[in-house]
A and B are shown apart, each in its own frame.
Chain A
Amino acid sequence: MALVTLKEGTPAHRAYVIGAWAIAAIVLIYVIFAYRWGFAPGSIDKAFRLTQINDVICYAVAILGLNLVIGFSGQLSLGHSAFVGLGAYTTIILVADHHWSYLATVPVSAALCFVIGLVVGLPALRIRGLYLAVVTLSVAYVFPTLVVKYDSLTGGPNGKKPARDTGKMNPPSWMPFSNAGRLASPLWVYCILLVIATALFLLVRNFMKSRPGRALLAVRDNQTSAAVSGINLPLYKALTFGASAAIGGIAGSMLMINRPFASDVQFGLPLAIFLVVGLVAGGAGTISGAIPGALIYVFVPYFMSAWTTDQRGMPPGIKQVTKPLFDWLQGRQGAGSIAGVFFGVGLLIFVFVLPGGFIDGIRRLRSKIVQVIPNPSWLRELHGSANPPPTSHSPSSGGEVTPAAPVVAAVRTRVAKPVSVKKAINLRGKTT
């Protein structure tokens, strides 16, 4: 039983929801002023750390896009790195060769990736599961080769970057940090990326609450019954691939805004795999899971590598234990690979401890502290009379509020919870 129970719609519940969002917003905004206010945990007031945080935002968007295909429509796509790369190269080529501004390239990346995504999604209409995974993996495999092949356009293996003086995005003078020296540019990039990412997260969140969003879940849970319910499977699958690729493309553009340099190895197979790892580690089928997923992708290998190379910044207790190992590895070929071993082992442990991903773990932890009791009448009020009241709750609840009830509430507030399609549709009293 949870420590605190909150009834939906009560002031306490509203304060809880608004408070959580407010804290998140304050933390995100605080990053901008950390250099001025002095308190900067994790050196968030340093240009390098800010660039890493910006990376996290970019990869969170990339994982969000991947989630549309894998987490929400249930199709295993491993080719997402190619779309991120395509978006990145679109931006860098337009900026470097055609002198576009960075932001103007973002819609172009999105549109281009949407079209290519649709095309790549075509096989998804006929094949499923692991076969689709192999087909999409080939896209990820081919992309770096194409980059090298068309080196006059992409810079080939030497990479592509804008002319020396035009690489940075500098803040307009009205921004409070416009004279913060080296920090000005990464802070400005942070603001821009944060706005883009917030917009995309809200977009996806609202989309998943809409009818097409529920239809997508229906496709994931049971294609046959979805089709029987009148969902146009080919249309939904192809559009999902397109939308996912478009978001991936935007993520690529964002990466270039943050660090204007693109090379073939950056968007190869490792990125394709790591995005899936980030997705699963964060929590497939959850929108917020993209954020811990991206944090894991950016910071875990970074700290692993930093600790295995010079053990600086490592927690002192661990340092004593691992020192003989690193001393022994010193000067041995491929000693740096030990970081990869640790990462692999860490991932294995992670899957056993948090099988549903990071977000699932947080939710399970939260459910031990706060429990939100659904309040159907409040929901009816909130959504107006357009939706007739649900005919029945889940059979086990029997009208009484039991631990099963939050699941029903979850369908209302977070469509992401795996819940059977019939239940999801019945709740709205509609069958699409």
Chain B
Amino acid sequence: MRPTRWKKSVVLGVGAAFVIASCGSSTKGGSTATTVAAGTATTAGTGAATTAAATSAATTGGTSAATAAATTTGGTAAGTAGGATEGLVNGVYKGIGDFSIDPKKCPADWNDKQGITDKEIDLFVSLPKSGPLAGFGLLADGASSYFKYINDNGGIGGRNIVLDAKDDAYKPDQTKTNVDEALGAKKYAAFMTVLGTANNLAVWDTTNDECMPHLLNGTGAAQWGDVKGHPWTTGMQLDYFTEASLWAKWLVKEHPEAKTVAELTFNNDFGKSYSAGFKYSTKGTGLSVVHQELHEGTAPNLTNQFTTLAATKADVVLLETTGAFCTQAMSEIEKNTTWKPIVIMSGTCGSVAQFFKPLVDQGLTGANTYIIQNFKDVNDPANASDPFIQLYQKTMTAQGLDPKQTTYATGWIYAWFMTEILKDAAGYQGGLTRGNIMLAARSIQETNPLLIAGLTSKMDGMKDAYLTEGGRMAKYTVTDPKALGRFVPSSDLINLEGQLGTYDTVKAAAAGG
């Protein structure tokens, strides 16, 4: 057989497959579950999980939106001390919470004004814009749209924020290529919201060696609190470890009768993070994990796991998984007529349309499943009077983007934090420099207007390396079994702000089992 015979048909087939695959993946990645979704669906979580009704219109969002609007006047010009004690003092950048940066430890050609001119601040993001997780690419467009709003209203002391986005198709080696290129270009002040746990882990040694601010990572892994080993890297989302701690606090307070807990855990870092966080927070309480079932990303279904879990007759079941496994797990539990545990599910599965709709199609509901929420849903009518959400709706519509896409709103959350960081940095000693940007990122005190009222987003240098550490339990409530329900808040806010500290706490907890 000569190669020429099949060569043409193979290439034709492959070529056609590229076209089809590319077109196909531009639809919403609903079936992205399995292995890759593990570290990633989280971003959808922050945006999409917030489907519940906010309790009232009297939120702190009002003041925060005003803060955002004040950007126009905010941001004193570079070089003015602004009376702040933080900043470049005697050759060392000193921030709050004992956090400091010695520029002498950076590469010899490190430039603290790189990417910052009188007209522009250049930022970089690498995230999937193609492939199964292409939907997350909208995050960058959302962030850019907020930056455009800021720029149209004066920017940061007259400087426009420019965000360059590059596609990595969620492949860590591609992320590394993109980041290497961006580092080599020597034109970016900072990186923000690089998406995916593995993707960030692939690059964070390099960004830290290069003294490149690598901020607000788009993943909820607990590693981003490693302020000692990786001072230049920060996270944003509620991390999985803390989320599981919130479950524990809620159970102890609201369900003192619950004693035994069964876990369904995705057999990877993501699932095990939850597991470690729950065990850490239940020490000394009456709660005990009686059984843990692990599942692989390749598992065809969870029937075996649930046969075992149901046999434990545990009071509580924790669904520490994501993607389609959430739907499968809820279905298994609902079909079981004898075991009726309290069901708590990962916040990454908060999208009603994505994870509960398939249940309705099967004649099930998924009712009474609990999840943790921490951001407001921009599309919930109950939030319609929130000034920041009004600003979001108005700006998005004016820019020709669809405000219903919650991933855009997630982009706004990240961009809002980035803007605050830049504004703070501009007020530090020495003005807007990369060193000060890093100090500001580790000293955020402002509360994001999209956070549920009462929650805070704070960082405190070496003491508190996690930004959002609180949330509210919400219950999926169904009135008509044939239609989709909604998440109804079912607890007071639980705010663990500052309690987790740094990644050292998580490491110690994981090591202690």
* Centre residue among B18, B38, B134, B145 by max chain A CB count within 10 A: B18
Whether the Cβ atoms of B201 and A158 lie closer than 8 Å is yes
Whether the Cβ atoms of A159 and B15 lie closer than 8 Å is no
Residues of B within 8 A of A220 (CB): 1-3
Residues of B within 8 A of A343 (CB): 18, 22
Check if A359 is an interface residue, CB within 8 A of chain B: no
Check if A119 is an interface residue, CB within 8 A of chain B: no
Whether the Cβ atoms of A149 and B134 lie closer than 8 Å is no
CA distance A220 to B6 in the complex (A): 13
Which parts of B184-240 form the interface with A (CB within 8 Å)?
184-185, 197-198, 201-202, 205, 209
Question: In the complex, what's the smallest C-beta–C-beta distance from B184 to chain A, in angstroms?
Answer: 4
CA distance A167 to B206 in the complex (A): 10
Whether the Cβ atoms of B130 and A264 lie closer than 8 Å is no
CA distance A161 to B16 in the complex (A): 35
Whether the Cβ atoms of B130 and A261 lie closer than 8 Å is no
Check if B84 is an interface residue, CB within 8 A of chain A: no
Q: Name the segment of A10-18, A202-210, A326-334, A381-389 touching the other chain.
A: A326-334
Which parts of A303-338 form the interface with B (CB within 8 Å)?
305-306, 308-310, 330-338
Which parts of A257-302 form the interface with B (CB within 8 Å)?
259, 261, 263-266, 273, 276-277, 280-281, 284-285, 302
Q: With A265-B36, A266-B173 as given contacts, are A345 and B268 in contact (CB-CB < 8 Å)?
A: no
Check if A351 is an interface residue, CB within 8 A of chain B: yes
Residue in contact with B198 in the complex, picked from A70, A159, A182, A308, CB distance below 8 Å: A159
CA distance A261 to B206 in the complex (A): 12
Check if A157 is an interface residue, CB within 8 A of chain B: yes
Interface size, chain A (Cβ < 8 Å): 68
Check if A418 is an interface residue, CB within 8 A of chain B: yes
Whether the Cβ atoms of B130 and A266 lie closer than 8 Å is no
Check if A339 is an interface residue, CB within 8 A of chain B: yes
Residues of A within 8 A of B12 (CB): 348, 351
Instruction: State the A residues within 8 Å of B (CB).
Output: 46-48, 51-52, 70-71, 74, 76, 128-129, 144-145, 148-149, 151, 156-159, 161, 164, 167, 181-182, 220-221, 259, 261, 263-266, 273, 276-277, 280-281, 284-285, 302, 305-306, 308-310, 330-341, 343-345, 347-348, 350-351, 355-356, 418
CA distance A190 to B54 in the complex (A): 58
Whether the Cβ atoms of B180 and A48 lie closer than 8 Å is yes
Question: In the complex, what's the smallest C-beta–C-beta distance from A303 to chain B, in angstroms?
Answer: 12
Whether the Cβ atoms of B35 and A344 lie closer than 8 Å is no
Q: With A157-B198, A159-B201 as given contacts, are A351 and B8 in contact (CB-CB < 8 Å)?
A: yes
Whether the Cβ atoms of A418 and B4 lie closer than 8 Å is yes
CA distance A336 to B170 in the complex (A): 12
Residues of B within 8 A of A74 (CB): 1-3
Question: In the complex, what's the smallest C-beta–C-beta distance from B248 to chain A, in angstroms?
Answer: 25
Whether the Cβ atoms of B28 and A333 lie closer than 8 Å is yes
Whether the Cβ atoms of A310 and B164 lie closer than 8 Å is yes
Residues of A within 8 A of B165 (CB): 309-310
Question: In the complex, what's the smallest C-beta–C-beta distance from A269 to chain B, in angstroms?
Answer: 11
Residues of B within 8 A of A167 (CB): 205
Residues of A within 8 A of B130 (CB): 305, 334, 336-337, 339-340
Question: In the complex, what's the smallest C-beta–C-beta distance from A348 to chain B, in angstroms?
Answer: 4
Whether the Cβ atoms of A333 and B176 lie closer than 8 Å is no
Residue in contact with B269 in the complex, picked from A156, A333, A345, CB distance below 8 Å: A156
Q: Which residue of B lies closest to A332 (CB)?
A: B26
Whether the Cβ atoms of A340 and B18 lie closer than 8 Å is yes
Residues of A within 8 A of B172 (CB): 159, 261, 263, 265-266
Whether the Cβ atoms of A145 and B298 lie closer than 8 Å is yes
Residues of A within 8 A of B400 (CB): 331
Q: With A129-B1, A148-B35 as given contacts, are A341 and B22 in contact (CB-CB < 8 Å)?
A: yes
Whether the Cβ atoms of B297 and A148 lie closer than 8 Å is yes
CA distance A31 to B128 in the complex (A): 32
Check if B75 is an interface residue, CB within 8 A of chain A: no
Residues of B within 8 A of A309 (CB): 129, 165-167
Question: In the complex, what's the smallest C-beta–C-beta distance from A380 to chain B, in angstroms?
Answer: 30
Residue in contact with A341 in the complex, picked from B3, B23, B35, B180, CB distance below 8 Å: B23
Residue in contact with B268 in the complex, picked from A148, A344, A347, CB distance below 8 Å: A148
Whether the Cβ atoms of A331 and B268 lie closer than 8 Å is no
Instruction: State the B residues within 8 Å of A (CB).
Output: 1-4, 6-8, 10-12, 14-19, 21-23, 25-28, 35-36, 38-39, 109, 128-131, 134-135, 137-138, 141, 145, 164-167, 169-173, 176-177, 180-181, 183-185, 197-198, 201-202, 205, 209, 267-269, 296-298, 400-401, 405
Whether the Cβ atoms of A333 and B137 lie closer than 8 Å is yes
Residue in contact with B25 in the complex, picked from A161, A334, A348, CB distance below 8 Å: A334
Q: Which residue of A lies closest to B407 (CB)?
A: A333
Residues of B within 8 A of A263 (CB): 171-173, 198, 202
Whether the Cβ atoms of B7 and A341 lie closer than 8 Å is no
Question: In the complex, what's the smallest C-beta–C-beta distance from B115 to chain A, in angstroms?
Answer: 16
CA distance A277 to B6 in the complex (A): 13
Q: With A157-B38, A259-B173, A341-B18 as given contacts, are A334 and B26 in contact (CB-CB < 8 Å)?
A: yes
* Centre residue among A46, A151, A157 by max chain B CB count within 10 A: A157
- The A/B interface has a contact count, at CB < 8 Å, of 199
Residue in contact with B19 in the complex, picked from A70, A277, A344, CB distance below 8 Å: A344
Q: Which residue of A lies closest to B134 (CB)?
A: A334
Residues of B within 8 A of A164 (CB): 205, 209
CA distance A347 to B109 in the complex (A): 42
Whether the Cβ atoms of B134 and A265 lie closer than 8 Å is no
Q: Which residue of A lies closest to B204 (CB)?
A: A164
* Centre residue among B109, B130, B172, B296 by max chain A CB count within 10 A: B130
Residues of B within 8 A of A145 (CB): 35, 298
Q: With A265-B36, A265-B170, A338-B22 as given contacts, are A149 and B138 in contact (CB-CB < 8 Å)?
A: no
Residue in contact with B27 in the complex, picked from A148, A157, A277, A334, CB distance below 8 Å: A334
Residues of B within 8 A of A356 (CB): 4
Q: Which residue of B lies closest to A357 (CB)?
A: B7
* Centre residue among B17, B109, B134 by max chain A CB count within 10 A: B134
Residue in contact with A71 in the complex, picked from B3, B169, B177, CB distance below 8 Å: B3
CA distance A351 to B12 in the complex (A): 8
Whether the Cβ atoms of B202 and A161 lie closer than 8 Å is yes
Question: In the complex, what's the smallest C-beta–C-beta distance from A165 to chain B, in angstroms?
Answer: 9
- Cβ contacts A to B, 29 pairs, < 8 Å: A48-B180, A48-B181, A51-B177, A52-B177, A70-B3, A74-B3, A129-B6, A148-B296, A148-B298, A157-B38, A157-B197, A261-B176, A263-B173, A264-B35, A276-B14, A277-B14, A280-B7, A280-B11, A285-B3, A306-B166, A330-B141, A334-B27, A339-B167, A340-B22, A341-B18, A344-B16, A344-B19, A345-B15, A355-B7
CA distance A259 to B145 in the complex (A): 34
Residue in contact with A348 in the complex, picked from B7, B15, B35, B167, CB distance below 8 Å: B15
CA distance A167 to B12 in the complex (A): 40
6 nearest A-B residue pairs (beta carbon)? A336-B129, A334-B26, A344-B18, A340-B22, A334-B134, A336-B130
Known: A74-B1, A340-B22, A341-B22. 8 other contacts (CB 8 A): A47-B180, A48-B180, A157-B269, A265-B172, A333-B134, A335-B137, A336-B169, A344-B16
Q: Which residue of B lies closest to A312 (CB)?
A: B164
CA distance A220 to B7 in the complex (A): 14
Question: In the complex, what's the smallest C-beta–C-beta distance from B340 to chain A, in angstroms?
Answer: 33
Question: In the complex, what's the smallest C-beta–C-beta distance from A223 to chain B, in angstroms?
Answer: 8
Whether the Cβ atoms of A265 and B171 lie closer than 8 Å is yes
Residues of B within 8 A of A302 (CB): 177
Q: With A129-B1, A344-B16 as given contacts, are A46 and B184 in contact (CB-CB < 8 Å)?
A: yes
Question: In the complex, what's the smallest C-beta–C-beta distance from A132 to chain B, in angstroms?
Answer: 11
Residues of B within 8 A of A336 (CB): 128-130, 134, 137, 167, 169
Question: In the complex, what's the smallest C-beta–C-beta distance from B392 to chain A, in angstroms?
Answer: 15
Residues of A within 8 A of B4 (CB): 355-356, 418
Question: In the complex, what's the smallest C-beta–C-beta distance from A139 to chain B, in angstroms?
Answer: 16
Residues of A within 8 A of B8 (CB): 351, 355
Whether the Cβ atoms of B268 and A276 lie closer than 8 Å is no
Question: In the complex, what's the smallest C-beta–C-beta distance from A296 to chain B, in angstroms?
Answer: 12
Question: In the complex, what's the smallest C-beta–C-beta distance from B347 to chain A, in angstroms?
Answer: 19
Q: With A265-B171, A276-B10 as given contacts, are A161 and B198 in contact (CB-CB < 8 Å)?
A: no
